[in-house]
Amino acid sequence: MIQKLSEKNKDFFDQVYDVVRLIPQGRVTSYGAIANYLGTKSGARMVGWAMNAAHVLPDVPAHRVVNRNGMLTGKMHFAHENEMERLLKVENIAIENDQVLNFKLLFWDPIIELEL
């Protein structure tokens, strides 16, 4: 289904997608980190909302975005529940109990990585 988006939201979505596409393979980040990078510090939920809409775009690695705990909260939103975990495992990211192992180590923060 196509959602009607205001200009403001379209811009926000675009920024979110742009950042998500920059996440290196084998790395992960959080909704809050993206939100913070975009300036909408408290807009983590909006990022999650954007990911839900991003679901239709093939080039947005939404599986690399997890919540602050490294938990795969969005796995249920993929075509199949195991899809998110499977995609992460392909990138050598270990998953256990719906959670990314060594999350802190694999964490990719746009504020730090894209700093300059």
Partner DNA sequence: AGCATGACGAACA
Partner DNA sequence: GTGTTCGCCATGC
For residue 4, the 8-state DSSP code is P
Q: Which is nearer to DNA, 92 or 97 (CB)?
A: 97
Min separation Cβ 92 and DNA, Å: 19
Of 27, 28, 34, 69, residue with least CA distance to 48: 34
Write out the two tokens for 74: 């969005």
Of 34, 18, 12, residue with least CA distance to 107: 34
Would you say 74 and 84 are in contact if contact means Cβ atoms under 8 Å apart? yes
Q: Is 89 in the site for DNA (CB under 7 A)?
A: no
Looking at 23, 46, 88, 106, which residue binds DNA (CB under 7 A)?
46
Residues 4-23 that bind DNA (CB under 7 A): 5-6, 8-9
**Contact residues for DNA, defined by CB under 7 A:** 3, 5-6, 8-9, 30-33, 35, 40, 42-49, 51-52, 54-55, 62-63, 65, 67-69, 73-74, 76-78, 84
